[in-house]
Structure 1
C-alpha cells in the first residue's frame, strides 16, 4: 500500500472521529436527511413539487413528529427527573443520619470489646464511612453534570434540526460534488460503496434502537417489580449509561444497590443487583448478534470492533469501530481492497 493511500485512510479515520464528536449533530442530521430522501422523491414525482418545497415539507413533518414524541414521552420523564433531583438532598441527609447512627452504635461497642477487636471495628467503620461519602459525592457530581449539559443539549437539538433542513435541500448536489473528486471510471464503484454503506448504517442505527428499546423495557419492568419511584426516568438514565461497554450500567445500579444494602433495604438492593446482572448478560449476548445481522457482519467481527474501538478511542469507539468495519465491507463488496496474499 502506498504512502498516499495510508495518509488517505488516516485522514478518513480522523474525519470519522471528528464526525462522532464535535460533528455529531451534523452526522445525525445527515443520516435523517438520507432517511427522508425517499419521501422527498415521492413528493417531487407524485405531486410535482420542486426539491426545495419537497425537502421543506418532509423535514417539517419529521420535526413535528419528533416534537410530538418529545411532548408525549418527554413531559413524563422530565417530571420524574425533576422530582428525583428534588429528593437528592433528602437522600444525602438519610445517608448522613445513617452514618451518625452507625458511629454511635460503634462507640457503644468499643466500651465492651477487647482493644484489638475495637481497633478492627473502628477501621471497618472508617472504611464504610469513606465509601458512603464517596458514593454521595459521586451522585452529587452526576446530578451537577447532568444539569450542566442541558444548555448544550438544547444547542445540539437546534443545530441538529437546522442541519436536517439544510442537508435535505442539498443532498443530491452534495453527492454529485463528492463523486466529482473521483475519476470517471471509479465513480460507479464509489456510488456502489455509498449505497452499501447507507444500507449498513441504517442497519446499525436500527440495531442500536432495538437494543436500547429492549434495555429500557427490561429496566422499566424490573424497577416496577421492585417498587422503585420514578421508574421511567431511571430507566432512561440506565439506557444512556449502558452505551458504555462491559458493565456500563454498573455505574448507576451497583452504587445504588450498595447504598440500599448498607441502609438495610436488602430487598431493593439485591433486586437492583439482579437487574444489573440481567441487563449486562442480555447486552453481552444479544448485542453482537443483533448488530451483526443488521449491518451484515459476523457476530464475532461486531464484538471485536466494539471492544477494540472502545479501547482505542473510548465511548466514541463503540460506534466508530463497527462503522470502520462497515465501510471496509462496503468497499470490498464494490470490488475494492481485493488484494490477496501470495506465497
Structure 2
C-alpha cells in the first residue's frame, strides 16, 4: 500500500470523525437528502418540476412529518424523561437507606467472624454505599446537564433542517464535485464506490432502526404489562443503552429488577428479569439475519467493529467502527484495495 493511499485513508477517517462530532447536523442532513432523492426524482419526472421546486417540496414534507412526530411523541417522551429523572435519585436514596439497614442488621450477625472477614465485609458494604451516593450525584448532574443542553439541541435542530433543504437541492452538484477530484479513469470506480457505500450505509441504518424499533415495542409492551410508570421514557432509555456496546438492555433491567426483588416487589422485579431475557433471546435470533441481509457484513465483523470503535474513540466509535468496515467492503466491491499477500 502506497504512502498516498495511507494518507488518503487517514484523511478519510479524520473527516469521518469530524462528521460525527462538529459536523453531525450536516451528516444527518446529507443522509436525509440521499433518502429523499428518489422522491425528488419522482417529482421531476412525473410532474416535470425543476430541481429547486422538487427539493423544496420533499424537504418540506419531511420537515412537517418530523415536527408532527415530535409534537405527538416527543413532548410526551420528554415529559416522562424529566419526571423519571427526577424520581431516579429517590430510588437510589431508598437503595442507599436499604444498604444502611442491611449493614446495621449484618453487624449483629458477623460479630463472631474473624477480624479479617469483618473488615472485608465492612469495606465492601461501605464501598457499595459510596457507589450509590456517587450515582445519585451523577444522575442529578445529568438532569442539570440535560436542561442546560436544550438551547444547543434547538440550534442543532434548526441547522439540521436548513441543511436538509440545501443538500437536497445541491446533491447532484456535490457528487459531481467529488468525482471531479479524481482522474477521469478513476471516476467510474469512485462512482461505483459511492453507490455501494450508499446502499451499505442505508442498509446499516435501516437494520439498526428496525432492531431498535422492535426492541422498543417489546420493552414498551413489557413495561405496560408490568404497570410500570413512565413506560415511554424507560423504553427509550433501554434503547439508548442497548445501542452502546458491552452495556445492553441488561444494564438497565437487571439491576432494576434485582433491586425490586430485594425490596419485596417480586412481581415487577421478576417481570423485568424475564423482559430482559425475552429481549436478549429475540435480538440474538433476529439481529444476525437483519444485519447480514441489510449490510452484507457478518455479525462477528459488526460486533468487532462496534467494540474496537468504542474502545478507540468512545461512544462515537460505536457508529464510526461499522462505517469503516462498510466503507472498506464497498471499496473492495468497487475494485479498490484489492490487496493480496504473496508468499
Shared fold per TM-score greater than 0.5: yes
The answer (yes or no) to whether the contact 1:247–1:280 under 8 Å persists in 2 is no
Counterparts in 2 of 1:86 and 1:299: CA distance versus 1, 3 Å = closer
1:286, 1:246 → 2: CA distance? Answer: 18
Q: 1:149 to 1:289 in 2, by over 3 A?
A: farther
Residue deviations 1:14-56 (CA, integer Å, cap 9, x gap): 1112112221111111011011112112222222222112111
Counterpart Cα distance in 1 of 2:296 and 2:215: 23
Q: CA RMSD in A?
A: 2.8
Contact 2:96 / 2:129 at 8 angstroms: preserved in 1?
A: no
2:219–2:235 Cα contact (<8 Å) kept: yes
Instruction: Give the TM-score of the pair, scaled to structure 2.
Output: 0.87
Q: TM-score, normalised by structure 1?
A: 0.87
In the TM superposition, what is the alpha-carbon distance from 1:205 to its structure 2 partner?
A: 1.0
Deviation at 1:97? 5.3
CA distance in 2, matches of 1:297, 1:339: 19
Find out whether 1:8 has 2:8 as its counterpart.
yes
Query: Kindly tell me: are residues 321 and 94 of structure 1, through their superposed partners in 2, closer, same or farther at Cα, counting changes over 3 Å?
Result: closer
Once the two structures are TM-superposed, the CA of residue 57 in structure 1 deviates from its matched residue by 0.9
Question: SS where residue 267 of structure 1 aligns?
Answer: helix
Any residues of structure 2 matched to 1:160-175 within 5 Å, and which?
160-175=160-175
C-alpha change, 1:164 and 1:264, in structure 2 (3 Å) is same
Q: 1:326 maps to which residue?
A: 326
Does the aligned pair in 2 maintain the 1:288–1:302 contact within 8 Å? no
SS at match of 1:242: helix
Cα–Cα, structure 1 residues 261 and 2, in superposed 2: closer, same or farther, change >3 Å?
Answer: same
Q: Structure 1 pair 94/309, CA: closer, same or farther in 2 (3 Å)?
A: closer
User: CA, structure 1 residues 92+274, in 2 after alignment: closer, same or farther (shift >3 Å)?
Assistant: same
The answer on 1:234 being equivalent to 2:234 is yes
| Alpha-carbon spacing, 1:285–1:156, altered in 2? closer, same or farther (3 Å) | farther
Q: Structure 1, unaligned stretches of length 5 or more? A: none
CA contact (8 A) 2:40 2:58 kept: yes
Q: Which whole-Å CA distance do the structure 2 matches of 1:89 and 1:258 have between them?
A: 17
Which residue in the other structure is 2:76 paired with? 76
Cα drift, residue 277 of structure 1: 4.1
Number of equivalent positions: 341
1:136 and 1:230, CA in 2 relative to 1: closer, same or farther beyond 3 A?
Answer: same
Q: 1:311 to 1:289 in 2, by over 3 A?
A: farther
Residue in 1 aligned with 2:18? 18
Say if 2:241 and 2:247, in contact at 8 Å, map to a contact too.
no
Q: How far did residue 330 of structure 1 move?
A: 1.7
